[in-house]
Amino acid sequence: MKAKHDRLDSALRIRNEMLVWMREFGAFKGVRGAGRCLECKRGGLTLTLRTPFQKLPEPLRMNHRLAVLAQRYNFKIPVTLPYGLDIWESNRKVLNLQ
């Protein structure tokens, strides 16, 4: 249980530091599939912040087969939450917080 708590603490520290960068250096830009989001580029990283005030990406469409598989194997269908911070390095997503 401690490892899960440590991961959450680390994620929150990263989020808090990235939000400082976003406020200082970020600008609103159009992001494909997500509308206008706050974006910041610093030191090889690209940060994108989504809030409920921007258009959300389309959620995964639920079809019958997916619903049956989710029920059978007890997994949750991913949803897009209203707040999200994505961190990219060299066109590769390295962190996604929702």
Q: What percent of the chain has pLDDT over 70?
A: 70
Q: Delimit the domains of the chain by residue range.
A: 2-97
Q: Which two tokens stand for residue 26?
A: 């970020």
pLDDT in tens, 67-80: 777 777 777 666 66
28-46 mean pLDDT = 81
Q: How confident is the model at residue 89 (pLDDT cuts 50, 70, 90)?
A: very high
Return the SS3 of 69. helix
Half-sphere exposure of 37 (CA within 13 A, CB side): 23
